[in-house]
Amino acid sequence: MKATPYLSRSLPPELTPLLELTTDLRWTWSHAADVLWKMMDADAWDRTENPYVVLQGLSEVRIKELASDPQFKKRLQAVASARDKYCSCPAWFGENYLNTNLKGIAYFSMEFGLGEALPLYAGGLGILAGDYLKAASDLGVPLIGIGLLYQEGYFRQVLDKGGWQHEVYPYNDPTTLPVVPVEAPSGGWLKIYLDFPGRRVRFRVWQAQVGRITLYLLDSNDPWNNPSDRGITNKLYGGGPELRLAQEVALGICGWRLIESLGLEIDVCHLNEGHAAFATLERARCYMDRHDIDFHEALWTTRAGNIFTTHTPVAAGFDAYRPELVLKYGDDYAKGLGVELHNLAALGRKEPSNPAEPFNMAYLAMRTCAMVNGVSQLHGDVSQRIFSPLFPRWPLGEIPVSAITNGIHVPTWDSPWADELWTKAASKGRWLGDPEALAEAIESLSDENLWTFRGNEKADLVNYTRQRLVRQLGQRGESTALIGEAENILDPNALTLGFARRFAEYKRPNLLLHDQQRLIRLLTNTQRPVQIIIAGKAHPQDEQGKRFIQAWAQFVRQPEVRRHAVFLEDYDMALAQELVHGVDVWINTPRRPWEACGTSGMKVLVNGGLNLSELDGWWAEAYNKEVGWALGNGEEHQNPDWDGTQADRLYQLLEEKIVPAYYDRDAAGIPRGWVTRLRASMAQLAPQYSTNRMMREYVERMYLPAATAYNLRQNNSGQLVKTVCTWEQSLKRHWQDILFGNLEVTQEEDGWTFLLQVYLGGISPDSIQVQLYADNWGDAVPLCQIMERRDLILGAINGYIYYGKVGAGGNIEEITPRVVPHHPDVFIPIELPLICWKE
C-alpha cells in the first residue's frame, strides 16, 4: 500500500523529507518543527498553521533557495531524524504487549478533530476521536482510523450585529489538506464500490498520517458518480435522514471493505458511537465469504472482536431510521448475506419482531458487539438504563455496559508555558509512560513558579482575545471606536472565567444570565473584578440554541460590561486551545445526567485552570473540595424551578468562594489558597484524565480480551463457533421448558443454605448456571452466587437439586434463584440475554 502526496511537482532530493513531514499531522501536537515551517514562509505559516499549504505555496525560486540554505537543511534533517526516531521506537505497547494476539485495531468514527488544517469534526465526539489517534500514536498501539472526507465539514459561525448566528460552509479542497490518495495494491488510486438502490457508487480513499497512525478517509466526490451521490460526503451531519443513512452505510460498509482491499490484519473493530455499526455486518459478510459459512456463524465469530463505545446520554440521541428506508437500502444487502431482511432489521429494533419499529443504530451496535462501554462512570450507569430494554428481566447492574472515562491528549492542549513547566518538573516523555509519577513532580513546584506560569498564560490569552475580537468586529463592519475599544478589553490580572461549548438547551448555556444585574455587579467590581470569555455554536436547526447565543451577544455589547465580557465567534479547536490555556475557572452547567463526559473541562487541568461544574459526566467522579467547585447535589432534577436554584448557587459560589479565594493575597501578591488548589488539580487530575490513562485502559480491559476471544473463535476452522451455535439454538428452543420446584432455606450460624429443585426439560445442565441473586447484599452490593448441581431429582427427567450457601450480611428475603445461559467462551448476557427467575 502506497500513498503519494498530492503535489503537482517534485522537490530537490535534499528537500524530499518535507513531503512526509508536512503530511504527518504530528505537527499538530509536536511543535519542534514550527521554526522550520516559519523559515519556509513566515506569513503563510502564521495565517494557515498548515505546513502542507506552506509547502505548496512556495515558488520554484524559494524552493531552490531553501535547497541551498545550510541552516535550513540542517534543521530539516534534525526534524526528520526526530520523527523517524519517534515512529520506530517500541513505545509503551511494544514494550509491554508486542507478543500478544492483538495485531490490529480499526477505529471507526463519523468525525475526527485533529486540527484546523483538517476540519472533519463538529464537536466533542470528533475531538475525542482525534485525541484518541494521537494517544495511540504516542503509545505505539497498532490502530488505524476509518472516517469520511467531507467536502465542507462542519459550518463556520458568523454573528450579525444583532447577535444572530449565520452558518458558512467553506470548501475543503483536498489539494490543500494534509491528506494523500491511497494507491491500490494493484496500482492506481484505491476505489471502494458500494451498491446503493438502483446504482453503484464509487468512493475514493485518502489517508492522513497521525504520527505512527494512519487515518483512512472515504470520499464520494468522484466524477464517476452521479451528482447526488457525489454529495454523500458533502457535509458532516448535513441533509436529511436518507443522506445520514447513506453516510453511515458508507462509513461502516465501505470502511470495512477498505480494510479488506488493503489486506490489513485487524482483530478488533472499535465503533466510536453507533454511526459505524454497519461495519460489524460487513465484517461478518466478508468472513462468511472467505470461510464459506452462513451469516449467523460468521457473526458469532466476528462479534467477539467488536467493541462499541457509546457517547449518548439519552435514547432520543441515537440515530434511528424509518422501516421504509431500511427496506430501500437493506433489501439487496440482506439477500447478499443469505438472510431475510426482517431478520437483519431485527438486530436494530428493541422489539425484534415489530416490523413497524425504527431501525436503531445503537441497538445494532449492541447486538453485534461483545463489549460496550460508556465514557464516564456516571454515563456507564445511565447507559445501562438506556439499553435495559434489550435485556428483559436482567437487573440494571448487569446490563453489559462498562465504563472507561474519556481523557484528553495533553500535548495537544497544553500551552507553551505549561509544556515548559511540566518538562522541567517531569521530563519530556512524561505523557508516554506511567502517569502516576507525575503527581509528585507537580507537588514539588513552588507557589511562585506556579503563579508566574499562570500569569504568563493569562497574558497570552488576553492578547489573543483582543486580536481575535478586533478581527471579528472588523468583519462585521462595526464602528472604528468599538474596534479601538476592543484593543484594550480585559485585564490580565483579573479573575478570568471561561464558558465555551455547543449551545444546546440541556447544557444550560445561559444559566449565568439568569440574573443579569447580579452578573454585572460581579464583572464590574472595581476591587475584585471578574471577566468572562464565551464561545460556542448552535446546531444550524436549533433555533433555541441560536437565541441563547444572541442573548450573550447582546449582553456583552452593553457599555458597562463590554470591557469585562467577550463572545468570540466561530468556536473551533484553535480557539479552544487558546481558551483552555489561560482561563482561571472553566464553567460547565449541563443538566444532569445529560453530559456523557464533557472533556472540555479536562483541558484546563494541565494548564492550571480550575473547574466549576455540575456534578455530571467526568466531574461527578473527579470532584473533591481540594481541586475545584461543584454545582448540584449529585441528583437528577425535573422540577422547572431547579434552574433558578442552580443559578443562585452559581452566583453564590462565585461571590462567596471563588472571587475571595482568587484575591486573597499575601505580602508577595500570591493567593496561597488558590495556588494550593491549583497544584492539587494539576497533580491529582491532569494525569488521571489524560488519553495516556484512557488508552491503556482500552488496551488492557477491552482490546486484549477482545482479540483473544476473536482468535479463539477462529481456531481449528471455527469448531468453537459451531459448538456455540448448536448450544445457542438448543437453549432458545428449550428455554421455556425450565421449571423451578421446591426451595428449602436453612439458617446456620454463618449464613444460610439453599436446596433448590430445577427441571431443565431439553436443556443440558452443562449449558446453564443456576444462581442465587440479590440486588443489594451487604454494603448494598449485588450478590450473585453460583449454585452447585448435586443429585438428580428422583423420578424426574433432567431434574436436579442445586445447593448454595450464602454468608450473613443481608436480608434473606432479597435473594431470588435464577437460571442463566453459561458457556466459558461466550459473553453473557450481551451475546445471549436469556434469563429465567423463580417466581
In sequence order, the β-bridge partners of residue 586 are: 498, 611
545 close to 503: Cβ distance less than 8 angstroms: yes
Residue bearing cell 451498491: 195
pLDDT digits over 642-691, tens only?
899 999 999 999 999 999 999 999 999 999 999 999 999 999 999 999 99
**Full-model pTM:** 0.95
Q: Dihedral of CA 832/833/838/839: which sign?
A: negative
7 close to 60: Cβ distance less than 8 angstroms: no
Residue 192's pLDDT is 97
Residue bearing cell 440521541: 317
pLDDT digits over 790-800, tens only?
999 999 999 99
CA distances from 770 to 326, 757, 802, 829, 838 (A): 40, 10, 7, 14, 10
370 close to 703: Cβ distance less than 8 angstroms: no
- Kindly give the pairing relationship between strand 816-821 and strand 768-777: antiparallel
pLDDT above 70 for 91: yes
Find the mean pLDDT for residues 374-378.
97
Q: How confident is the model at residue 433 (pLDDT cuts 50, 70, 90)?
A: low
Find the mean pLDDT for residues 281-304.
97
CA distances from 623 to 582, 588, 660 (A): 21, 13, 20
Provide the 10 A C-beta neighbour count for residue 515.
14
pLDDT digits over 689-747, tens only?
999 999 999 999 999 999 999 999 999 999 999 999 999 999 999 999 999 999 999 99
pLDDT above 70 for 3: no
Q: How confident is the model at residue 4 (pLDDT cuts 50, 70, 90)?
A: low
25 close to 208: Cβ distance less than 8 angstroms: yes
Distance CA 789, CA 647 (A): 59
Domains and CATH numbers, the chain: 2-88 (no CATH), 91-403 (3.40.50.2000), 415-426+438-632+640-689 (3.40.50.2000), 738-837 (2.60.40)
Grid cell listed for 255? 470502511
| DSSP of 417-481 | HHHHHHHHHH-TTGGGS-GGGHHHHHHTS-HHHHHHHHHHHHHHHHHHHHHHHHHHHHHHT--HH
Q: Dihedral of CA 697/702/705/707: which sign?
A: negative
Distance CA 776, CA 395 (A): 11
